[in-house]
Structure 1
C-alpha cells in the first residue's frame, strides 16, 4: 500500500457550480438531466459532427466537461491488444476544437496486479469527477488520484485494496470535502470516503455480504432527506443510506441481486434502483427510515423487462427504463403503474439522458433513439454512428459528447 502527496498547491474547497457543468457521471445531479433547450436530435457519422477525435486505448468511462475542456480516462495496452499490462491514463481535449491537449499516465496495471475483466468492461470504466478545480480519477484497486485541471498530480493512492471481479466499474462522487467510492469485490465489500485534499481515508464502512457472488459496480448518489444529507449506496443484496460525516448506516433494504450497475435516482421522495443479476427487479424505496427497512419502506416494485446495466430516468411524474435488450418502458413514478412499453431494438449499457422534454436512448451498436417524454410513446429520430458505444452521454452547451469504441464525438446542430 502507498499514498503519495505531491507538492502542488490547489484549492479543494466546495464551490457552487453552474447547473450545466457536466462534472460527473450523468451530469449535474448525477441523474441524467440537462437544462439545455437546443440539443441536436439528428446526426450521422458525417452530419452535425462538430469534431471527432480518436481516443487511444479502450475505456468505457463517460466524458466530463470542466472549464471548456473535456476529460476522459482510458487504458492503453503496453504491447498488443490482449496484453495484461495496461497504461491507465487521463486524456484532456479542447472542447472547442477536439484537439488533444495532453494525455498522461496515472497508474500502471502490471502482470503482477492485472485482473481479468468482463468482455463488456474495460480497464478504465469509472467516470472521472470534478469540483471545477481538480479532477479525480479512479481505476479500482489499481489506484485513485487527484490532478489539477492542467494534469499535474496532487496525490495518488492505491490503499483501496480489494479483489475485483470482471474489472472496475463504479464511479466516485464528491460529497463536501470527501471523495466517496463503493468497492464491491469478489471477497471484500466496503464504502470508503477519502479526504479530497490528501487522498487519505476518512472513513471506511464494511458491507457484510454473504452470497456466493459478492461483486457489484455501484455508483453512490447524494440526496437530502428531511434536511439531512445521506449517501445512497447500491450493492450486492442491499442498498443503504449513510451519513456523509462518518459513513454510519442510516437505513438498509435487503434484496436478492449481484453485479449491480445502475446508479440510483431520487424523485417524489423515492429512491429508484434495480437489483441487476440474475433477474433484475425495479424497486421504489422511501429513504426516510432507520435500520432495516426491508419490510416497511418498499413503495412498489416491478420485475418485467428491467435493466441490468442502464440507469433509470425520472422526468416529471414518469419513470423511464431501457432494458439491456432494448425494451423501453414508462411508469408512473409514484405508483408503478405502466404507461407504455416499446421495443426500441438493439442492446443497451449507456444510461438515458433527458433534455427539453426529449429522452435519448443510446444503444451498444451506436444508435441513439430520441423520443418525446410523456405517457405515450412518440419517436422523434434514430441516429447511428456505426461504431460500438457503452459510455453514457455528456452535454456541453447545446452539444452532445458521445464516446464510441475509438472516437469521441461532439455533435451539434
Structure 2
C-alpha cells in the first residue's frame, strides 16, 4: 500500500513522539507549547475565576510545571533550600519534596531565581537541574537515583536552560562565559554518554530541542550568531545556520509543517538600532591609565556599551578585558542580527544559504519562545507586542499590543483555538489563535510570573511567584 505524500512527510519530519495527557518538559511534548488533547480549555481564567479547580500557595521559583500521569513536578526555593516538588495534579496536594544540597549559591540576575530550569520527566523519572549544584534524578515517588555535580557556572546571571529526556538520555546544554558544553547522560545511571565542547559560545539560554529528520534525531541548540544541529547518538555537529543575535534567550520550536523556527534578540542587533564601539587599540590608547595593556571597569566611561556589559566581555573573570576579549565582543556588535528564521529540514554542513526558508527582522522576542499554531508563527516582544507571521512565507499578518504590556519571560502556549500569554507582572492575555487574532480575555494575577503554563486534558496549570493554580 502506498501512503499519501503528506503522510510520508509527516513520518519523515517530526518533533518527536506524542503522548496525550502529559506535559513532560518545558513547553510540553516536543517543547512545542501545544495542548495535545482536543478537550476545551477555559477562557475566562484569573485569580478569582469560577474555573479554578484548585489553588495552593507555592514557594517561589521560575521553573515551569511538567506533568505525567497524576503528578506535577516543579522546582523552587524554600528558605534558601533548593527543592524538587511533586504534587497531585488532581488537587494540588504535596506528595513529596527533596532538597538539592549546595556548597555555595550561584550568582543570578537581579530578577533571577536559584530555581530557573524546568524539570523533565518520562513518567518513571524526574530530572531537575540547579545551577548551584547540578543534575538530580529522582523516581516519580521521590527516591534519589543519581546526581551529577556541576556549577556554579562562570555566569553572573545563573543557569537557566532546562534538561530534556529523550529515549534513554538526559540532555543539558550549559552555555556560560567559559567552558560551555552540551552533554548527554544515561537516564538510569547518570553516566556520561557523550559531551560536546561549545566553548566558542558565551552565555545563552536556549534549552535543547529534538528534531527528527528522515528517522534520525537531532539535538537543536540556538546560541550566539548561529543555530546548530547535533547527532543525538554521538553529539557530533551535523549542520549550522548562521546569522543570529549575539545571545539567544529563548528556545526554537518545530512546527507542524516540519520546519524549525528560531528567534534571537539582544540589544544592538535590530536593523535600526545598532551598537558600535571603537577598536581596542583606540580605547587602550585613550583609557589605559595604569598602562597594563588591558581595560579595567573604572577606566571605562560609565554607561559605555562595554562598561555596561563588563562581566560578559571579561569572559575569564580576571577583572580585566584583554584585546582578544574586547575584539570578540566588538565583532558581535558588528555582525549580530535580531531575527526570526524558518529553517527547512535536511541540512548538512553550513546551510545558511541553502535551508533558510525565510527570515523576519522586526518585533523579535527576547526570552519568550516562538509558537507555531494554525500554520502561523506567533512571537511576543517585551512590551506585549504580539506578531503573527504566515508560516509559509514569513509575511507579517498582524502586529499589535496585548493587554499584558510588560516584559515576557513566560512563553506562549496554545490549545482549543486559543493562545495564553503572561507577562512578568502577572498580566494574562488570552487571544484567538489565528493570524488576525483578537483579544478574548484579560486578567491580573497580582504576582510576578516567569513560568510557562501547562495545558493538559482541558486543564491549565499556571504558576505565579506565590501560587500554583489549576483551571478547568
Query: Shift of the alpha carbon at 1:219?
Result: 0.6
> 1:7-406, aligned counterparts within 5 Å?
18-34=19-35, 35-47=37-49, 48-56=51-59, 58-77=60-79, 86-108=80-102, 110=103, 113-140=104-131, 142-159=133-150, 162-209=153-200, 214-267=202-255, 268-278=257-267, 279=269, 280-344=338-402, 345-347=404-406, 348-406=408-466
Query: Shift of the alpha carbon at 1:134?
Result: 0.9
| Contact 2:42 2:471 (8 Å CA) reproduced | yes
Query: In 1, distance between residues paired with 2:459 and 2:152?
Result: 39
| Contact 1:255 1:275 (8 Å CA) reproduced | no
Query: In 2, distance between residues paired with 1:304 and 1:18?
Result: 35
| Contact 2:52 2:469 (8 Å CA) reproduced | yes
TM-superposition CA deviations, 1:339-381 (whole Å, max 9, x none): 1111114222111111011111112121221111113122211
- SS in structure 1 opposite 2:353? coil
Structure 1 pair 54/380, CA: closer, same or farther in 2 (3 Å)?
A: same
| Contact 2:21 2:69 (8 Å CA) reproduced | no
Query: In 1, distance between residues paired with 2:17 and 2:140?
Result: 17
Q: Which residue of the partner structure matches residue 83 of structure 1?
A: none
Paired residues in the alignment total 383
TM-superposition CA deviations, 1:8-44 (whole Å, max 9, x none): xxxxxxx987322111111122110003431110023
TM-superposition CA deviations, 1:62-109 (whole Å, max 9, x none): 0111221211101234xxxxxxxx32101111222212222220232x
Structure 1 unaligned segments of length 5 or more: list them.
1-14, 78-85
Structure 1 pair 256/314, CA: closer, same or farther in 2 (3 Å)?
A: closer
TM-score of the superposed pair, with normalisation by structure 2: 0.77
- SS in structure 1 opposite 2:78? strand
| Contact 1:140 1:164 (8 Å CA) reproduced | no
TM-score of the superposed pair, with normalisation by structure 1: 0.88
| Contact 1:63 1:71 (8 Å CA) reproduced | yes
Query: In 2, distance between residues paired with 1:16 and 1:377?
Result: 29
Query: In 1, distance between residues paired with 2:158 and 2:126?
Result: 22
| Contact 2:342 2:358 (8 Å CA) reproduced | yes
In terms of fraction of residues, the more strand-rich structure is 1
Structure 1 pair 295/136, CA: closer, same or farther in 2 (3 Å)?
A: same
Query: Shift of the alpha carbon at 1:124?
Result: 0.7
Structure 1 pair 410/397, CA: closer, same or farther in 2 (3 Å)?
A: same
Query: In 1, distance between residues paired with 2:221 and 2:92?
Result: 35
Structure 1 pair 362/159, CA: closer, same or farther in 2 (3 Å)?
A: closer
Query: In 2, distance between residues paired with 1:293 and 1:216?
Result: 22
Q: Which stretch of structure 1 is more off in the superposition, 155-164 or 116-125?
A: 155-164
Query: In 2, distance between residues paired with 1:43 and 1:377?
Result: 19
Structure 1 pair 251/165, CA: closer, same or farther in 2 (3 Å)?
A: farther
Query: In 1, distance between residues paired with 2:69 and 2:151?
Result: 30
| Contact 1:236 1:259 (8 Å CA) reproduced | yes
| Contact 2:386 2:401 (8 Å CA) reproduced | yes
- SS in structure 2 opposite 1:29? helix
**Structure with max Cα Rg:** 2
| Contact 1:71 1:92 (8 Å CA) reproduced | yes
| Contact 2:70 2:89 (8 Å CA) reproduced | yes
Query: Shift of the alpha carbon at 1:159?
Result: 4.6
Q: Which stretch of structure 1 is more off in the superposition, 400-409 or 356-365?
A: 356-365
Question: What is the aligned-residue RMSD (CA, Å)?
Answer: 1.9
Query: Shift of the alpha carbon at 1:285?
Result: 1.7
